[in-house]
Structure 1
Amino acid sequence: MSDQDTADTAADLWPTIDELWDRLEATRKHAGPEGVLLRILKLSEEVGEVAEAVIGATGQNPRKGVTHTWEDVQGELCDVAITALVALRTLTPEAREVFEAHLKGVRARPLTPPA
């Protein structure tokens, strides 16, 4: 992927998250606080799929053997990130600003504990 492709993808992130959110809102079965909670709980389901893919990629289930690839794990991790951003967008229309401010704070944290 070229630097331009990466820049284009980054520029498309939040419009894409908004589009996904709009599509989900149009089909949401539960409104109000219950709907928000269910959208956040979807994140747990996606994390479980990451775990399943890691177990499958490493062949840790002796009954099943190797059932996934590391590319499957990558895809599941992407699903977690997308689901988290959509859940954040569900909580606030200012999801981009909230995320970017939080990311800036995380980036500024030291990697080692203070002496």
Structure 2
Amino acid sequence: MNEQSPAPELWSTIDDLYEWLDTNCPVEGREGLLLRILKLSEEVGEVSQAVIGATGQNPRKGVTHTWEDVEAELCDVVITALLALRALTPQAREMFGGHLERVRERSLASAPQ
């Protein structure tokens, strides 16, 4: 049985990372915010690269990644998206929670019975 350490509390970690980024960000203001949002595109591209690498779709390179690499890149996408949301609003936790609940209700309401 694999013992895993407990995951850090999501929103306190996002707040810590947000503060760290804000303190160390070379670009501030609206441009800094836009760049933080654009970072999400970069992370999604890394997911694509990992999937291509895990499936060996580039004949020149062969298999260059594992599915664990894909999982890690997907985690990076989630973290980056939450940080972008936190950059837009200090109420990111509440905003995300409310949105997730609406998506859950809408999705489960449309599920076949």
1:63 and 2:65 matched: no
Deviation at 1:55? 0.1
TM-score, with structure 2 as normaliser:
0.89
Cα RMSD after superposing both structures: 2.0
2:85 corresponding residue in structure 1: 88
Partner letter of residue 56 of structure 2? G
Moved beyond 6 Å, runs of 4+: none
Quote the Cα distance in structure 1 between the aligned partners of 2:95 and 2:27.
Answer: 25
1:30 corresponding residue in structure 2: 27
Quote the Cα distance in structure 2 between the aligned partners of 1:109 and 1:63.
Answer: 44
2:48 corresponding residue in structure 1: 51
Residue of structure 1 aligned with 2:72, choices 72, 75, 87: 75
Q: Give the number of equivalent residue pairs.
A: 109
Sequence identity, in percent? 65
TM-score, with structure 1 as normaliser:
0.88
Deviation at 1:29? 1.0
Task: Please give the per-residue CA displacement for 1:41-79, whole angstroms capped at 9, x wherever unaligned.
Answer: 000000000000000000000000000000000000000
Where do 5+ consecutive residues of structure 1 fail to align? none
Partner letter of residue 19 of structure 2? D
Where do 5+ consecutive residues of structure 2 fail to align? none
1:99 corresponding residue in structure 2: 96
